[in-house]
């Protein structure tokens, strides 16, 4: 609202009604005054007769007068402040406010600062901005303005469920025609869930509708109305279509719509664990009745009964001495931290141990899961094999690397408690290592498991930090970003915050700043706009940029009113010869060729390319066979990626058309020079 409009409303509130008197108070010309009166009349604030201007008799003007009697309405409503104010009917982060309003970061921050200065808003411990709820007319006025704004752009019979600049989710009476496409509960029958409501649900957006979005739209609609039966139907839809849905995509969409806590609750509820938003869920027995009605297999939402003799059976039947390490849910069950688990996660050090355990499990009635049946979650964790049994928890086996991220380190082995079962030496991994693994895989139910682990006796957060830091250095991986996201979910659901959270945030922020500027040409404003939000403030970003400049990782360059950020150029003392450059190109081509022949994952191929890059940067390619170097790089990469069971050294040598002895010699050279 412009300052003249606010001044006119204040004058009318104070008793002025004569048009000429009001014109003099505001200090504008007659034609401007007439336009202003017309605009405020169209907004339902005032009405004009021949001799006077007065407030209209409606809820809006009553609320305005109540609010104006307590707060400075000039600061509350001027310019963009009104838009920010009306979007605060629910707690929101600065990032969410910016997305909903389309305003710049600086404008949103300025508006929040002004609203704070008059006591209209406050920030909670999670960094979200809240309206002052102690004065109810303030909230009701914001809600009125928001509803009024939303209805300007939608059909009169539509009810807005969610709206931002890019999307409008709405419900309308059944059969009414509106803009957009069907979503939410309206799509359930198309995916095997017959559920009919008195309304249709529509989404207006420029991007194609994804199945994950349709499900989250249903959850959002049900949670907004605290419709427990609607939440149950959303869970039925999820279980029916689980193979088509990626849990990470669902969490991302839920976070975009600001209901990630509700979605994580749904994941936990389906694992029969306590939930945060208890008011949204029916008793478990009622859910089971509904699941049976829709022919949902019991194993989709109940965990198998524990089989405590599993490792005893393996130890008695395995052909020779074998070492394995237990992590995940079965690890927690053995320690009494959870009653049941969906799977038993084992990690082994080498291909021989992997083959022995798989062969033994198959003798005991287990079968490998067909790859076509793997869920998006299963594909993402990249187990070497997944075996299932008709009546027991399934077994996920990893060879050295878990979920293409976490390696079985010597430190983890030392922390593990060793049990001997016949010929099997089983390491029960420490709670801290299980926590880190769950923080990096973040499968369904892992947030609740992380809470149990963090609250277990003697849990040491420093061990988690040290292991993460060492693994990143040893494996040249950057998975602290994933851990940070997991810790955010953990705090959001349980209030548990890692003591190293701020340090991790700075660690991730440094990496993200580097990623933003690696190609050069980015302004400081660009970087702030891309990274701010939640716990990451503009001040924090500026401080980290200053720190990185001081440490020599980037340089600032002032051009006009903008500050540009560029990565510091690496000083190369030894310039490679043309022959070395040619060797490099041939080695990269060989990596690609070997990867295609062996059907390696994109992750393993890129890891091999990175190894060749590092050898080239260290001037270690000259005088070497490109094929042998490439083959050795691929061998290292598949080991680091946990895919060694799929491609042996002999198979790699055959694909590269070299002698295995040459591969092994180059493999040892790479390990020594790159300190792997």
**What SS3 class is residue 220?**
helix
> Do residues 382 and 404 lie in contact, with contact meaning Cβ atoms separated by under 8 Å?
yes
Q: Is the pLDDT of residue 572 over 60?
A: no
Question: Which residue's structure tokens are 């300007």?
Answer: 152
Helical segments of 43-93, H only: 59-68, 73-77, 81-86
Q: Say what the pLDDT of residue 503 is.
A: 93
Q: Is the pLDDT of residue 609 over 70?
A: yes
Q: Say what the pLDDT of residue 675 is.
A: 64
Regarding whether 291 and 210 lie in a shared domain, the answer is: yes
Regarding whether 584 and 544 lie in a shared domain, the answer is: no
Evaluate whether residue 493 is within a structural domain: no
Q: Is the pLDDT of residue 645 over 70?
A: no
HSE value, Cβ hemisphere, 13 Å, CA-based, for 25: 20
Q: Is the pLDDT of residue 575 over 50?
A: no
Q: Say what the pLDDT of residue 534 is.
A: 66
Regarding whether 182 and 147 lie in a shared domain, the answer is: no
**For range 360-385, the mean pLDDT:** 86
Distance of CA 382 to the CA centre of its chain: 19
Q: In the structure, what pLDDT confidence band is assigned to residue 606 with cuts at 50, 70 and 90?
A: confident
Q: Is the pLDDT of residue 666 over 50?
A: yes
**For range 571-587, the mean pLDDT:** 50
Dump the DSSP string for 482-525: HHHHHHHHHHHHH----TTHHHHHHHHHHHHHHHHHTTS-EEHH
Regarding whether 395 and 255 lie in a shared domain, the answer is: no
Evaluate whether residue 496 is within a structural domain: no
Evaluate whether residue 305 is within a structural domain: no
**For range 619-637, the mean pLDDT:** 82
Q: List, in order, residues 6 or more apart from 272 with CB less than 8 Å away.
A: 284, 302, 303
Question: Which residue's structure tokens are 């406010």?
Answer: 97
**For range 383-411, the mean pLDDT:** 88
Q: Is the pLDDT of residue 366 over 50?
A: yes
Q: In the structure, what pLDDT confidence band is assigned to residue 623 with cuts at 50, 70 and 90?
A: low
* Residue 641, CA distances (Å) to 401, 477, 602 in order: 6, 11, 10
Q: Is the pLDDT of residue 275 over 70?
A: yes
Q: Say what the pLDDT of residue 417 is.
A: 96
Name the domain boundary from 151, 176, 209. Answer: 151
Regarding whether 596 and 475 lie in a shared domain, the answer is: no
Regarding whether 365 and 455 lie in a shared domain, the answer is: yes
Regarding whether 164 and 142 lie in a shared domain, the answer is: no
Q: Give percent above pLDDT 90 in the chain.
A: 49
CB atoms within 10 A of CB 419: 14
Q: List, in order, residues 6 or more apart from 99 with CB less than 8 Å away.
A: 164, 165
Least confident of 299-303, 424-428, 431-435: 299-303
Distance of CA 63 to the CA centre of its chain: 39
Q: List, in order, residues 6 or more apart from 87 with CB less than 8 Å away.
A: 97, 100, 101, 146
Q: Say what the pLDDT of residue 622 is.
A: 62
**For range 415-437, the mean pLDDT:** 96
CB atoms within 10 A of CB 152: 6
Regarding whether 354 and 258 lie in a shared domain, the answer is: no
Q: Among residues 8, 14, 11, which one has the least CA distance to residue 35? A: 8
Q: What is the mean pLDDT of the chain?
A: 88
Least confident of 175-179, 533-537, 651-655: 533-537
Regarding whether 425 and 388 lie in a shared domain, the answer is: yes
Q: Say what the pLDDT of residue 571 is.
A: 32
Q: List, in order, residues 6 or more apart from 639 with CB less than 8 Å away.
A: 400, 401
pLDDT in tens, 211-250: 999 999 999 999 999 999 999 999 999 999 998 998 889 9
Question: Which residue's structure tokens are 């490099």?
Answer: 584
Q: Is the pLDDT of residue 474 over 80?
A: no
The terminus-to-terminus CA distance of the chain in angstroms comes to: 63
Regarding whether 562 and 582 lie in a shared domain, the answer is: no
Name the domain boundary from 118, 151, 184. Answer: 151
Q: In the structure, what pLDDT confidence band is assigned to residue 643 with cuts at 50, 70 and 90?
A: confident
Looking at residue 658, what DSSP letter applies?
S
Distance of CA 508 to the CA centre of its chain: 14
Q: Is the pLDDT of residue 541 over 70?
A: yes
Q: Say what the pLDDT of residue 676 is.
A: 63
Looking at residue 33, what DSSP letter applies?
H
Evaluate whether residue 561 is within a structural domain: yes
Strand 53-55 relative to strand 121-123: parallel, antiparallel, unpaired?
A: unpaired
Q: Say what the pLDDT of residue 77 is.
A: 93
Q: Is the pLDDT of residue 295 over 80?
A: yes
Evaluate whether residue 141 is within a structural domain: yes
Evaluate whether residue 562 is within a structural domain: yes
Regarding whether 29 and 109 lie in a shared domain, the answer is: yes
Q: Is the pLDDT of residue 532 over 90?
A: no
Evaluate whether residue 572 is within a structural domain: no
439 or 664: which leads in pLDDT: 439
Name the domain boundary from 461, 488, 515. Answer: 488
Q: Say what the pLDDT of residue 573 is.
A: 30
Q: Give percent above pLDDT 70 in the chain.
A: 96
Q: Is the pLDDT of residue 412 over 90?
A: yes
Domain tally, the chain: 5
Q: Say what the pLDDT of residue 518 is.
A: 78
Report the CATH number at residue 371: 3.30.460
Report the CATH number at residue 43: 1.10.10.10
Looking at residue 571, what DSSP letter applies?
P
Query: Cα-Cα-Cα-Cα dihedral of 436, 450, 277, 265, to 10°?
Result: 60
> Do residues 485 and 491 lie in contact, with contact meaning Cβ atoms separated by under 8 Å?
no
> Do residues 502 and 537 lie in contact, with contact meaning Cβ atoms separated by under 8 Å?
no
Domain enclosing residue 437, as ranges: 310-488
Q: Among residues 343, 513, 327, 316, which one has the least CA distance to residue 421? A: 316
606 or 211: which leads in pLDDT: 211
Regarding whether 454 and 342 lie in a shared domain, the answer is: yes
């Amino acid at each position: 609202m412009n300052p003249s409009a606010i001044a006119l409303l204040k004058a009318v509130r104070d008793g002025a009604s004569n048009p000429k008197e009001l014109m003099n108070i505001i200090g504008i010309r007659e034609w401007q005054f007439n336009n202003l009166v017309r605009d405020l009349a169209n907004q339902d604030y005032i009405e004009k007769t021949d001799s006077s201007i007065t407030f209209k008799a409606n809820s809006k003007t009553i609320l305005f007068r109540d609010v104006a009697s307590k707060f400075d309405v000039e600061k509350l409503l001027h310019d963009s402040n009104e838009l920010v104010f009306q979007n605060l009917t629910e707690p929101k982060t600065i990032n969410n406010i910016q997305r909903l309003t389309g305003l710049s970061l600086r404008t949103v921050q300025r508006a929040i600062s002004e609203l704070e200065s008059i006591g209209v808003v406050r920030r909670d411990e999670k960094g979200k901005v809240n309206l002052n709820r102690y004065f109810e007319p303030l909230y009701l006025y914001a809600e009125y303005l928001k509803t009024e704004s939303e209805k300007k752009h939608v059909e009169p019979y539509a009810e807005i469920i969610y709206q931002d600049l890019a999307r409008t989710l709405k419900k309308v009476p059944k059969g009414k025609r509106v803009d957009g496409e069907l979503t939410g509960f309206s799509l359930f029958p198309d995916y095997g869930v017959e559920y009919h409501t008195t309304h249709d649900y529509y989404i207006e957006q420029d991007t194609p509708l994804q199945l994950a979005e349709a499900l989250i739209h249903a959850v959002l609609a049900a949670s907004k109305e605290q419709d427990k039966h609607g939440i149950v139907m959303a869970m039925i839809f999820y279980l029916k279509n689980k193979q088509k849905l990626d849990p990470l995509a669902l969490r991302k969409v839920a976070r975009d719509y600001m209901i990630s806590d509700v979605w994580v609750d749904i994941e936990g509820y389906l694992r029969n664990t306590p939930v945060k938003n208890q008011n949204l869920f029916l008793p478990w027995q009622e859910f089971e009745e509904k699941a049976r009605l829709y022919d949902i297999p019991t194993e989709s939402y109940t965990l198998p009964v524990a089989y405590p003799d599993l490792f005893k059976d393996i130890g008695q039947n395995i052909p020779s001495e074998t070492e394995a390490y237990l992590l995940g849910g079965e690890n927690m069950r053995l320690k009494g931290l959870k009653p049941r688990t969906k799977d038993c996660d084992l990690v082994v050090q080498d291909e021989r141990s992997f083959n022995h355990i798989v062969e033994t499990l198959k003798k005991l009635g287990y079968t490998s899961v067909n790859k076509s049946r793997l869920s998006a979650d299963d594909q993402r964790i990249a187990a070497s094999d997944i075996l299932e049994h008709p009546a027991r928890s399934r077994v996920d086996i990893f060879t050295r690397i878990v979920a293409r991220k976490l390696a079985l380190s010597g430190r983890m082995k030392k922390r593990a408690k060793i049990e001997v079962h016949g010929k099997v030496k089983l390491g029960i991994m420490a709670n801290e290592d299980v926590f880190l693994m769950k923080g990096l895989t973040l499968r369904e139910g892992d947030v609740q498991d992380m809470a149990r682990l963090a609250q277990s006796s003697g849990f040491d957060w420093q061990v988690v930090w040290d292991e993460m830091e060492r693994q990143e250095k040893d494996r040249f991986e950057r998975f602290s970003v994933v851990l940070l996201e997991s810790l955010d979910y953990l705090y959001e659901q349980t209030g548990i915050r890692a003591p190293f959270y701020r340090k991790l945030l700075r660690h991730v922020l440094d990496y993200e700043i580097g990623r933003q500027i690696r190609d050069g040409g980015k302004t400081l404003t660009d970087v702030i706009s891309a990274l701010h939000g939640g716990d990451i403030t503009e001040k924090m970003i500026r401080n980290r940029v200053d720190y990185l400049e001081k440490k020599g990782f980037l340089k600032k360059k002032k051009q006009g009113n903008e500050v540009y950020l560029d990565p510091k150029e690496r000083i190369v003392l030894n310039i490679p010869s043309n022959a070395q450059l040619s060797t490099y190109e041939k080695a990269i081509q060989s990596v690609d060729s070997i990867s295609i022949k062996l059907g390696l994952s994109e992750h393993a191929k890129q890891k091999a390319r990175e190894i060749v890059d590092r050898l080239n940067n260290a001037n270690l390619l000259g005088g070497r066979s490109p094929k042998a170097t490439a083959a050795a790089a691929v061998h290292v990469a598949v080991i680091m990626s946990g895919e060694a069971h799929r491609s042996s050294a002999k198979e790699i040598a055959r694909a590269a058309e070299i002698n295995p002895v040459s591969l092994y010699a180059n493999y040892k050279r790479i390990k020594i020079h790159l300190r792997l």
